Amino acid sequence: MSARPAAVLFDLFDTLVDFERDRLPLVTVAGKDVRTSSGAAHAVIRQAYPAISFEAFYEAFVESLREVNERREREGIEVTAAERFARCFARLGLPDTDATASVRGAALEAHMGSLATATACPPERREVVRTLGGRYRLGLVSNFDHGATARALLTRHGFDGAFEVTLISADVGFRKPYPEIFHLACRALRIAPAAGLFVGDSLSIDVAGARGVGMPCVWVNREGATLGRADPQPDHTIQHLPDLLALV
Ligand SMILES: [Mg+2]
């Protein structure tokens, strides 16, 4: 690496903490097996509204995600999980009252709890962050629709206090790869984008985003994917996070 970075910034999911969909509960919907966290949310809703079947809830759950994903794409913003659940409840015909809001909050917590159980972090990644923390200022920039859950996952997987700056898209309203969240992170760290180093697993989100603001970046290519000419080009590619230690 040519110049020593003033700060190293990490992506969260599938860079530090893996999301393993195979660990979500398996449910059968309309004859198809799907891995989903929606069973936990439906269990909460069913207690308050026994008439809402799992199938009806699942459809609203999936459609509300499709709806917010369209908005995320179109507007380059983050839409929170709370808003997604509000849309889901509206689709189910539930009025927006204090009573439904409390069920909605509990269902959202159940959904997040279920997602959190499907995460894992190999201990060597904690070691990498700990080692680099002794040498560099560290930041974290994550696309996730529920800030409290992202922060709880950092604690759960041993990254408590590791980052000087932690930005979750749900809290700031912007998502990677759009430049706003990178600029916010740089401002919080008081560095110029070119002085940072971004480390992430996604070419279209992390590498494209970092390049877009002129921040050097490392692509964690765990699957050994082939980098195409049309892909956003990382400055460095590593296969496993510990390889970062040889680079910086
Ligand atoms: Mg990621």
**Taking the domains of the chain in order of start, what are their residue ranges?**
7-18+120-246, 21-117
Tokens of 181: 């969240």
CA of residue 46 to ligand 1 center, whole Å: 33
CA of residue 150 to ligand 1 center, whole Å: 12
User: What pLDDT is recorded for position 151?
Assistant: 97
> Residues 143, 78: contact at Cβ < 8 Å?
yes
CA of residue 203 to ligand 1 center, whole Å: 9
Tokens of 151: 């922060």
Q: CATH number for the 7-18+120-246 domain, one of 3.40.50.300, 3.40.50.11540, 3.40.50.1000, 3.40.640.10? A: 3.40.50.1000
CA of residue 206 to ligand 1 center, whole Å: 7
Q: What percent of the chain has pLDDT over 90?
A: 96
User: What pLDDT is recorded for position 25?
Assistant: 92
CA of residue 208 to ligand 1 center, whole Å: 12
CA of residue 27 to ligand 1 center, whole Å: 26
Q: What are phi and psi of 122, to 5 degrees?
A: -60, 135
Q: Could you tell me the pTM of the whole model?
A: 0.95
At residue 1, does pLDDT exceed 90?
no
Average pLDDT over residues 176-202: 98
Q: What are phi and psi of 11, to 5 degrees?
A: -80, 160
User: What pLDDT is recorded for position 3?
Assistant: 82
CA of residue 103 to ligand 1 center, whole Å: 31
Task: Identify the burial level of 243 via C-beta atoms within 10 angstroms of its C-beta, where 0-12 means exposed, 13-18 middle and 19 or more buried.
Answer: middle
User: What pLDDT is recorded for position 76?
Assistant: 86
- Looking at every residue in the chain, the average pLDDT score rounds to 96
CA of residue 14 to ligand 1 center, whole Å: 5
User: What pLDDT is recorded for position 121?
Assistant: 97
> Residues 40, 114: contact at Cβ < 8 Å?
yes
Q: What confidence category does residue 2 fall into, taking pLDDT thresholds of 50, 70 and 90?
A: low
